[in-house]
Structure 1
Amino acid sequence: MSSKRLIAQKAASLIQRGQVVIIDGGTTTGEMLTFLPRDLPFTVVTHSPSIAVGLIDYPLIDVILIGGRLFKHSMVTVGASMMDAISRINADIFFMGVTGVHKSAGFTTGDYEEACVKKALSDRAAETVVMVSAEKLNSASAFKIGDLSLASTLIVDGELDTEISEALRSRQIAVI
């Protein structure tokens, strides 16, 4: 099984009946949809048209698609109307994708507006779960989403080096 599929499978197993779950756009979160149980009722909030369309055949999952300006590179919405809409959401968990995880730079991505949206989505969830493939560890992109303490859980495939492992442990971030 590929790294992204393994991470996605672990992430899907964290969802519980009745939760309000924010799912970020991205390839790993897209893979996560294939592992969602068809008999589990919960609500998905997403700013990704791709994620919303991927949930059409899940009759027990309510889908709230947050609109805004479409950022075509990542297939997610951004902008003022999107930020206003998410201010009305109180989610249990947010599954966030990033392009970099670094002990001092924190969680990063390659687009400024996308970084602001990811931070805002995280602020609307009781827990933020960051899904990270190995190539994104110990790297930093141009725009900061937030410090490592933004996450409650990090899902990775493989072993973490000592520095990043200690940085996560000191901030009481669970690693799956």
Structure 2
Amino acid sequence: MLTSERKALILKTVRRDGRLVAKEFSRQLGLSEDTIRRDLREMAGEGLLQRVHGGALPASPATAEYGVRQTIETDAKARLGAAAARLVRPGQVVFLDGGTTNVQLARQLPPDLEATVVTHSPSVAVELARHPRIEVELIGGRLFKHSVVAMGAACIETLGRIRADLFVMGATGVHAQAGASTGQAEEAALKRFIVRQSAETIVLATRDKLGAASPFGIVPLAEISSIIVERDLPDLLLAPLRKAGPEIVVA
């Protein structure tokens, strides 16, 4: 079997089964495990999959630059944002993570809602500047341009003094075993810190993020209260996530 044929089969297996175990796959093909692991390393370097101990998971495609992501799945993001907006209660302190889906959430908060939104996303803050009753606490720091959010020591220091009722967290991967993940280590650490500062965490996830993984883990799914997903998704995709702990809310 040619290398290109083998890699195509690896990619097909990962996408179909949601995972690949190197030892089992090498046995099926009658090849050495080292050969399969080399293929996995090369494919991970190309962003085609995410390597994990013993094999691979689907790589999340939700890693494009912010400007590109603004044009992708806009209808689905609007529905997810509307569903999340209905979960925000009067008087709550809500931390809104960065990301294009959370901008949709901010856009759809009811005009009569009185609440406090804490965010390190200038995009979210600008969206809420037009809201008549929501107080906005904008957290500063070094701008991480990929996600257009503030990061760094100043950001962490300020967040350490805030306790939120609800954290609406962004993630590029949501996988039953790998948990919620993202593509940058410092960003993952910041999100994990905010989870610890919040009474409840929810994630809004378009279909491309479900069953996929990114390089840096944030938290296991057991630490997430709810995942808001699109309608008409197969139970085969949702059942492992539900079993991992969170409530699955269909937008």
- Range into which the TM-score falls when normalised by the shorter chain: over 0.9
| Alignment correspondent of 1:142 | 215
**Quick one: distance in 2 between partners of 1:6 and 1:59?**
23
- Residues 24-173 of structure 1 aligned to structure 2 (within 5 Å): 24-158=97-231, 159-162=233-236, 164-171=238-245, 173=246
**Higher relative CO (CA 8 A, sep ≥ 6), structure 1 or 2?**
1
- Residues 11-30 of structure 1 aligned to structure 2 (within 5 Å): 11-30=84-103
SS in structure 1 at match of 2:129: coil
1:5 aligns with 2:88: no
Residue-by-residue CA offset, 1:96-143 (whole Å, 9 max, x unaligned): 111001111110111111111111111111110100000111110111
Number of aligned residues:
175
Alpha-carbon deviation of 1:161? 3.9
**TM-score under structure 1 length normalisation:** 0.94
Aligned residue type for 1:125: S
Structure of higher CA gyration radius: 2
Higher helix proportion (structure 1 or 2) = 2
Higher strand proportion (structure 1 or 2) = 1
Aligned residue type for 1:174: E
Closer/same/farther in 2, CA of residues 160 and 89 from structure 1, 3 Å limit: farther
Closer/same/farther in 2, CA of residues 69 and 60 from structure 1, 3 Å limit: same
Aligned residue type for 1:153: S
Aligned residue type for 1:48: S
**Quick one: distance in 2 between partners of 1:142 and 1:5?**
27
Aligned residue type for 2:242: L
**Quick one: distance in 2 between partners of 1:175 and 1:52?**
28
Q: Percent identity?
A: 45
Gaps of 5+ in 1: none
**Quick one: distance in 1 between partners of 2:132 and 2:81?**
21
**Quick one: distance in 2 between partners of 1:56 and 1:37?**
14
SS in structure 2 at match of 1:45: strand
Aligned residue type for 1:123: R
Gaps of 5+ in 2: 1-73
